[in-house]
Amino acid sequence: MGMRQKNVRILGEKPLYQWVLDTAIKSNLFSRIIVSTDINSILTDESYPSELVEVQERPRSLAKDIPMKWVIGYVLDQYIDKPDYFALMQPTSPFLRVEDIERCVTALTVLKGDDSCQTVRRVKHHDHAFNQRVVKDWDVVFAFPKQRDDVRKQVQPEHYAFGNLVVTKTSYFLETGDFFGNSTGIEIPWKYGIDIDYEEDLELAEVLLESSRIVL
């Protein structure tokens, strides 16, 4: 079962949401940073510059387990002058780096035909799609049995999981409701894309911090 109130869980002496927010501010790439939440401790946090950071209370209808595109759509609807691009940065990915934001923004502005740029991380052999299982009536079966003829690591196509960031053209999102479309991928080390969903994830993140393996 996932964690409750994940965004305010403490990692390295500060709540998760502050990690991503601090990185976004440090990047100096955004004209406006919107924090959408229904958590009171975040809503009342006045430690950030008001001319850059705007904390919005999320309507109750959006404070559920719903598609993130609904939240982004609601936020964009608040503004007549919409940005050319927006970045989706989530508190559960605390190890977002300034350099990865810069790389995504640069790629998207240079490659004019793309709809988005996202960070990705390489999937380990045991987690590869061809090795994944599903459970049907208590029986464990391979999700992609036709690809099981040869599952050697050396011959499997490289697969990637989402990293920690996507930068999207606003016009594309408003037209389609999709974050990705024709998307450029920027590979990041696995450790920087860690996603905090379970207690074990938070424990691993603490270990990485304490061992000085994370440089932000």
* Model pLDDT for residues 88-141, shown as the tens digit of each residue: 999 999 999 999 999 999 999 887 789 999 999 999 888 888 888 999 889 998
Asked, for residue 147, whether it belongs to a domain, the answer is no
Separation of alpha carbons 165 and 89, rounded Å: 6
Do the strands 53-57 and 33-37 form a parallel or antiparallel pair, or are they unpaired? Answer: parallel
Cα distance from N-terminal residue to C-terminal residue, the chain: 30
pLDDT of residue 83: 93
pLDDT in tens, 9-18: 999 999 999 9
CATH number, residue 43: 3.90.550.10
pLDDT value, residue 1: 55
Confidence at residue 35, expressed as pLDDT on a 0 to 100 scale: 96
How far is Cα 192 from Cα 120, in angstroms, rounded to an integer?
Answer: 10
Average pLDDT over residues 83-91: 95
Closest CA relative to residue 119, chosen from 53, 201, 195: 195
In a domain? residue 26:
yes
Would you say residue 204 lies in a domain? Answer: yes
Least trusted range by pLDDT, from 17-26, 119-128, 179-188, 191-200: 119-128
Any domain includes 149? no
162 three-class SS: strand
Mean pLDDT (the chain, rounded): 91
139 assigned to some structural domain? no
What mean pLDDT is predicted for residues 174-181? Answer: 96
* pLDDT of 151: 65
136 located within any domain: no
**18 in a structural domain:** yes
Range of the domain at 26: 6-123+158-210
Q: Which pLDDT score is estimated for 211? A: 93
The count of domains in the chain is 1
The percent of residues in the chain predicted with pLDDT above 70, rounded, is 97
Q: Whole-prediction pTM value?
A: 0.90
In angstroms, rounded to a whole number, what is the distance separating the alpha carbons of residues 26 and 24?
Answer: 6
pLDDT band at 37 (very low <50, low <70, confident <90, very high): very high
Residue 146 falls inside a structural domain? no
